[in-house]
Amino acid sequence: MVKKTKDGLYIKPIKKGTTIDHLPAGTAFLVLKIIGTPEDTITVAVRVPSRKLGIKDLVFAENKLLSEEQIAKIALIAPNATINIIENNQVKQKIRLQQPSEVKGLIQCINPNCITNVENIPSRFYIDKNGIAKCHYCERTMTREEYIARIRV
Ligand SMILES: [Zn+2]
């Protein structure tokens, strides 16, 4: 059973689980690394046409719910993504992600001399509206590209 979406794509909907939509193109593999385990059934669509984004990635995880931490990490990678929780072929809950303004323990500071990299202290960052993260401890800043590469997986 396949369904035609608004974007004109043919994808197999899942009966139960979690779908992640509106991922920027190229981010699905990192999302997979964050949420996937060898036991999961996950379908990934990469660089598919999107009216909203031009092109986008999609991830469908069957029979799987994401943890708060996994959702927080996805919000760092894709602040405008949408997470749908599916039950009995229906969207039971829609979560529209937002860029967090503060994150703790999810990313590693770019500064090798930062106290969070030297001692066992959880990292803490403030993220501004332009997506720049600033370390609470050493005040070094990172672009989204830089901190996405330093998400703890
Ligand atoms: Zn730091």
Mention the CATH class of domain 102-148. Answer: mainly beta
Ligand 1 centre to CA of 124 (Å) is 8
Going from N- to C-terminal start, the domains of the chain cover: 3-96, 102-148
3-state secondary structure of 28: helix
The type of residue at 79 is P
Ligand 1 centre to CA of 125 (Å) is 8
User: Which helix H or strand E contains 83, and what residues bound it?
Assistant: strand 82-87
Q: Is the domain defined by 3-96 classed in CATH 3.30.70.140?
A: yes
What are 31-89's pLDDT values in tens digits? 999 999 999 999 999 999 888 889 999 999 999 999 999 999 999 999 999 999 999 99
**Contacts with 36 (C-beta within 8 Å, 6 or more apart), sequence order:** 42, 61
**CA gap 144, 151 in Å, rounded:** 11
What are 109-132's pLDDT values in tens digits? 999 999 999 999 999 999 999 999
